[in-house]
Chain A
């Protein structure tokens, strides 16, 4: 297994389109790193550069301490699982899994042992003689993973491997891949646009937008301390509520004021918010950090009207709107709201976020 280091990696396509801009990622040995972001953010391009399927325009890529920018994919000792499985349709499952080993001229016995072992791990032993067209989506994905496993590569790369599966199977395969990581103790780089996959699978998450890495950290670090408004909105489901508000000073206290919003954040925020007095900022609070109150606290309230109620069984999501913004609250399933009701919430003051209006950076973010 190996560590993977991306140093100032850039990818510029013909015509000057910058797909990846100065990416720096340090992936430790045996780490499961997830690259996440919306479509076109450069996450797949980054993965393909690691695989050797895209040329690196600038920067250094190191696998196990060796610069591999100019190495062919086959010489990087990596294996990749593709979104559409990329199984060779004319070969059986066994031949698909054995293909890489045959090319590398492994002994027949060794190939058989490895394929059978991988098939056992993935529970696809009875499928070995079938062709890919006779398999379901989930089985195909298992075979694709099996093809990667048999090679025992230094690094596993996954390019949105669960996107083509239905929701239920996706959840199941998610757990299986996580389990596989624990079993194989391998370095894995996983690309997805699904932040739930990122949160549940990754030891470390890399959030990208427009080719630029926004933040790297553990799932909880990203959830609790997003570096900017984009990460705050992208990580978490439902996403963080971001309201436009103004910082004002009233009776010697800093107050966050907006349409239907009045929050005194408290002493711990005062120092940091002082430079923003009189300015507009983005005020962020996660749906679970809003608590419905019958009696309005004048120092901590958001008042809004109910637009939509989504009962999910274990909890209820309530979509609300103020005069300027829409927001969502996660409430108990016993809540008895009706569409059109005016409801007041208090915010959990230890979990509120402030982002600058200009560059959307978190005002209180601290680097580790």
Chain B
């Protein structure tokens, strides 16, 4: 008994040690993320000279001038519109295609299913950088370079493998008997997809939509390489332009960065519950 108590006490001590260490680690990580964000936020209300003279200081007279200038110079109206368009359209198409393919992979045991699924998942191994040049050449050849289609199609193609993986894993867990019941009730396979599978996929669909949307919203490399006209570019490319053209005005540059950051912060705040669920989805079995 005494031995057991001693062991328990010892284990409790170890646990407390680990807990303190992990809290310190999380604290350091949080601070390194939040401090630059806070600094960026209040600095965006300071004029360029004030930032140079007192980089860490609070703004003497906070101004929205940087925001006005950045919006005008960067044509953020267009960039916002494009970002929303690319993120929304590519996300909807990707998630819908992933769920449709996932349904086929999860429920139709054709001989070729295994090969096709592996083939699709192989897409996870492709890095964007490795296909940039051939993709650009292909798009130029087809004539869709520097167009919205030229951005949307690669977004969907590159988003599909992971989304398909999420969709297939989830759809496999839907009992076959539900599908069979619907067949007997008089539905065809398309009907089953729209009326049974899709509504039942709401939990995984939320995760898929969020991840896909965030990925598309933040995407930078493809939009930089595949587009050159401001009219078809999105926020990340537009913000990057400030680094070159107005490099000497940090205030305006920070305001531009805020235009890119704030929507994402709002998005995280609005969907934090689903995002957390998404993180846990892979680690827990219901």
Contacts and interface: CB of A to CB of B under 8 A. Distances in A.
Given A74-B186, A103-B186, A86 B181 contact: yes
Contacts of B175: 84, 86
Contact of B180 (A86, A89, A103, A151): A86
Interface string B152-175: 000000000000000000000001
Contacts of A100: 184-186
Residue among A79, A103, A151 facing the most chain B CB atoms (10 A cut-off): A103
A104 B186 contact: yes
Contact of A80 (B181, B187, B196, B202): B181
A103 B199 contact: no
Contacts of B186: 74, 100, 103-104
B177 interface: yes
A99 B187 CA distance: 9
Nearest to A85: B177
Interface in B187-217: 187, 191, 195-196, 199-200, 202
A82 B177 contact: yes
Contacts of A84: 175, 177
A339 interface: no
Nearest to A159: B177
A88 B177 CA distance: 10
Q: Chain A, interface size: which category?
A: 20 to 34
A284 to B, nearest CB: 39
B185 A74 contact: yes
A94 to B, nearest CB: 15
A90 B178 CA distance: 12
B170 to A, nearest CB: 14
B200 A74 contact: no
B21 interface: no
B183 interface: yes
A351 B186 CA distance: 50
Interface string A55-78: 000000000000000001110001
A131 B200 CA distance: 13
B185 A103 contact: yes
A321 B261 CA distance: 82
Given A86-B175, A88-B196, A74 B180 contact: no
Contacts of B177: 82-84, 86
Contacts of A103: 185-187, 191
A83 B180 CA distance: 12
A53 B199 CA distance: 23
A96 B181 CA distance: 10
A73 B196 contact: no
A148 to B, nearest CB: 9
Main secondary structure, interface of A, reads loop
A366 B178 CA distance: 44
A73 B182 CA distance: 10
B187 A82 contact: no
B184 A90 contact: no
A51 B175 CA distance: 17
Contacts of B195: 99
A80 B184 contact: yes
A87 to B, nearest CB: 8
A187 B9 CA distance: 68
A261 B104 CA distance: 63
Residue among A72, A84, A86, A151 facing the most chain B CB atoms (10 A cut-off): A86
A78 B184 CA distance: 7
Contact of B200 (A80, A89, A147, A151): A89
Interface string A88-121: 1110000000011001100000000000000000
Nearest to B180: A53
A147 B184 CA distance: 11
A74 B191 contact: no
Contacts of A72: 183
A53 B183 contact: yes
Interface string B96-132: 0000000000000000000000000000000000000
A208 B252 CA distance: 81
A74 B184 contact: yes
A74 B191 CA distance: 13
Contacts of B178: 86, 88
A80 B177 CA distance: 10
A86 B175 CA distance: 8
Residue among B181, B186, B191 facing the most chain A CB atoms (10 A cut-off): B181
Contacts of B182: 88, 99
Nearest to B196: A88
Given A82-B177, A84-B175, A88-B178, A51 B184 contact: yes
Contacts of B187: 74, 103
Given A73-B180, A74-B186, A80-B184, 4 more contacts: A80-B180, A82-B177, A86-B175, A88-B181
Closest 7 CB pairs of A and B: A100-B185, A86-B177, A86-B181, A74-B186, A103-B186, A90-B199, A82-B177
15 contacts: A53-B180, A53-B183, A72-B183, A74-B187, A80-B181, A84-B175, A86-B175, A86-B178, A88-B181, A88-B182, A99-B195, A100-B185, A100-B186, A103-B185, A147-B181
